[in-house]
Amino acid sequence: MSNMEKEPMFSMKNIKTLTGPLNKNNPITVQVLGICSALAVTVKLKPAIVMALSVTIVVAVSNLVIAAMRKYIPDRIRIIVQLVVIATLVILVDQFLKAYVFDVSKQLSVFVGLIITNCIIMGRLEAFAMANKPWPSFIDGLGNGGGYGIILIVVAFIRELLGSGTIYGYPVIEKLGIYKTGYENNGMVILPPMALILIGLIIWFQRSRNKELIEK
């Protein structure tokens, strides 16, 4: 530790760790992880935002904890240790939501518990936190949680607008008087398959803009 050079908190490398997952290394659209919850909680914006925040907190803090004790974790039981850390944090988040954001926790129902099995978190712990210092790991967690959250929020925005005619519960379409022209909400956007199609479109859009991502 002592012979290592002191790195500034926001060095180029750390900033890259933070911004990479938002675009070029996005956990959902590039690594195709965490799709399950992206389909399930994106019918309305509010649960999507809460889910994005919850996952970000869990992945960042569990990265931090695992990175801090990475030298003491016996290699043979590291997956169990990672799971215990994740599960503990998820239960804490779940209990917190139940106590203070009850309505949202009702909407998210089982999906908060299922954060435990979100592949992004396990993937980051195993790939990053086990081999890096706490601070960069924490940043990596924020970046990946953010990358996941952005996609969730974009998908939820489109689905809520087209499916229910509202944005964050505010009846935009009704206020604009579009219903009078004969427009109707599209019930299909609310069903899970449409979320998959939307994510597919986002992946298509991202790859067409970013040539590096196109597989040869």
Q: Is 1 in the site for another protein (CB under 8 A)?
A: no
Site for another protein in 59-98 (CB under 8 A): 71-77, 80-81, 84, 88, 91-92, 95-96, 98
CB of 214 to another protein, least distance (A): 35
Q: 17 to 36, contacts with another protein by CB under 8 A?
A: none
- Please, which residue, 7 or 103, has the CB nearer to another protein? 103
Burial class (CB in 10 A: 0-12, 13-18, 19+), 193: exposed
Which of 4, 9, 110, 214 forms a contact with another protein (CB under 8 A)?
A: 110
Helices 134-164 and 45-68: crossing angle in degrees, nearest 10, is 170
103 binds another protein (CB under 8 A): yes
Largest CA distance in the chain: 71
Binding-residue total with another protein (CB under 8 A): 26
173 binds another protein (CB under 8 A): no
Backbone torsions φ then ψ of 74, nearest 5 degrees:
-65, 135
Query: What residue type is assigned to position 74 of the chain?
Result: P
Using CB under 8 A, pick the residue from 30, 33, 43, 58 that binds another protein: 43
Q: Quick one: how far is CA 173 from the chain centroid? A: 28
Cβ atoms of 81 and 72 closer than 8 Å: no
| Residue range at the interface with another protein (CB under 8 A); choices 99-107, 114-122, 142-150, 208-216 | 99-107
Q: Indicate the residue type of 95.
A: Q
- From residue 145, give the alpha-carbon distance in Å to each of 41, 65, 123, 161: 15, 16, 12, 24
Least Cβ distance, residue 8 to another protein (angstroms): 29
Token match 């790859």: residue?
Answer: 207
User: Cβ of residue 24: shortest distance to another protein, in angstroms?
Assistant: 30
Shortest reach from residue 51's CB to another protein, in Å: 15
Q: Where on the phi/psi map is residue 168: left (φ > 0), alpha (ψ -120 to 50), or beta?
A: left
Give the one residue of 11, 109, 208, 210 binding another protein; rule: CB under 8 A: 109
Binding-site ranges for another protein (CB under 8 A): 43, 71-77, 80-81, 84, 88, 91-92, 95-96, 98-100, 102-103, 109-110, 187, 190-191
